[in-house]
Copies of this chain bind each other. A is one copy, B any other.
């Protein structure tokens, strides 16, 4: 539809004319706004009401009238090294795929995310690829490959035996890459945070909790491996499919350790993301002062109250429930839990645990927010400004997720009127990142 606009042309400021622009602060769709951007700084110079009766727009200005224009999307929980576990279970991605393949796939994934309108990724752990997310982030920032602006966690912190590739043949001499930077005790977790900061992490991720006792009842993970003949009860408390005796999550750190992680990170102005599902873990992590709770998938009034009290951002990753939960009733409860959080005024951010749903399908999380009954405006806020907050807000070094003066010129342009048809979320026509057209006609501009 559009003519190909050379990426390199924009040395000079230019103007983008819109007829329908979402304001992620007022939560309103503004009419007829003109955005002046500077592709050299990557920032917005001004946002003003368009000239009345604006005629033909000529090059290099852009005429986006007739489209819905939003701040570029932020995926607040992504894994650029992961592709769907339904294709390849995590064990095999982490242990068997070559690091080379994983890095090349990460390049593909970054491109797919960008095409879907996601100009920023908060990437929460490489899942066995050491600190390679650093290299992917920098290759994007250096324009070696196209992709979203990455904020990365490098390796997540976990305690001993907490978050590992599970394999049985240790005595027999098989070793596998580590999945986490292991630390135990207050001094050790402080050191862990410091290692991450020094490695170049943009965000500290820690596992407040995990199903760490999985080797008690090992799953058959290779052809011919035998299942445990008489497993324990697999339905948990009150039918909960997560809190089961088979392998319940349990907290990996005590309160003092969690406090120390957050204290140490915040002293360096670094946001903290905590993996937590059960109320116990959510409450501990929230009380420790984390920036965000990831998943929080066991519905709990007390969890929500605690997050509200502590002003914790909640990243419910509904895609995981959508993909992993067979129990349809429970899936509904998880969605209702997210809606409740929104009603209570808890700040939300959208993140699909992307990779679990494929990169390129990132918008699925927004669709699940909508399915949960969260309003379109609140959903878009969670996918833009909420994402920026999850990245640490001003601590992250950039401003994005809102279209305003001095903010990064990130825009996603959807075909049609999103207010009338949320299907437009999947009709990405143009993506502008840092003031440059990076996707045009749905195709990466290279």
Contacts and interface: CB of A to CB of B under 8 A. Distances in A.
Interface of A: 41-42, 83, 87-89, 92, 95-108, 128-132, 134-136, 138-139, 141-145, 159-162, 164, 167-178, 184-188, 190-192, 194-202, 212-218, 221-230, 232-233, 245-246, 248, 250-252, 254, 263-264, 267-270, 394, 396-398, 408, 434
Contacts of A129: 172
A141 B229 contact: yes
A185 B188 contact: yes
B268 A213 contact: yes
Contacts of A194: 159-162, 184, 212, 252
A111 to B, nearest CB: 9
B96 A167 contact: yes
A168 B107 contact: no
A191 B183 CA distance: 8
B171 A98 contact: yes
A176 to B, nearest CB: 5
17 contacts: A92-B223, A98-B134, A98-B135, A99-B99, A100-B103, A100-B136, A101-B144, A108-B144, A131-B170, A138-B218, A138-B228, A185-B185, A185-B191, A200-B215, A200-B216, A230-B434, A250-B269
Listed residue (A108, A194, A221, A408) with the most chain B CB atoms within 10 angstroms of its CB: A194
B105 A103 contact: no
A323 B62 CA distance: 42
Nearest to A191: B184
Contacts of A99: 99, 132, 135, 169, 171-173
Contacts of A245: 394, 397
A230 B435 CA distance: 10
Nearest to A408: B230
A160 B104 contact: no
A170 B135 CA distance: 10
Given A135-B171, A185-B187, 4 more contacts: A92-B224, A105-B139, A144-B226, A160-B192
A227 to B, nearest CB: 7
A203 to B, nearest CB: 11
A95 B168 CA distance: 9
A124 to B, nearest CB: 16
A159 to B, nearest CB: 5
B230 A174 contact: no
B174 A177 contact: yes
A142 B313 CA distance: 41
A237 to B, nearest CB: 11
B97 A161 contact: no
A136 B100 CA distance: 7
A57 B351 CA distance: 49
A96 B268 contact: no
Nearest to A91: B222
B104 A136 contact: yes
Nearest to A83: B224
A92 to B, nearest CB: 4
A150 to B, nearest CB: 11
B224 A87 contact: yes
Contacts of A144: 101, 104-105, 108, 226
A217 to B, nearest CB: 8
A223 to B, nearest CB: 6
A409 to B, nearest CB: 10
Given A97-B169, A172-B129, A222-B92, A104 B145 contact: yes
A294 to B, nearest CB: 20
Contacts of A188: 184-185, 187, 191
Contacts of A174: 95-96, 174-177
A58 B201 CA distance: 55
Contacts of A105: 139, 144
Contact of A98 (B172, B202, B263, B267): B172
Contacts of A95: 169, 174
B101 A104 contact: no
A234 to B, nearest CB: 10
A59 B410 CA distance: 41
Across chains A and B, which 5 residue pairs bring their CB atoms closest together, nearest first? A161-B198, A185-B187, A100-B135, A88-B224, A232-B397
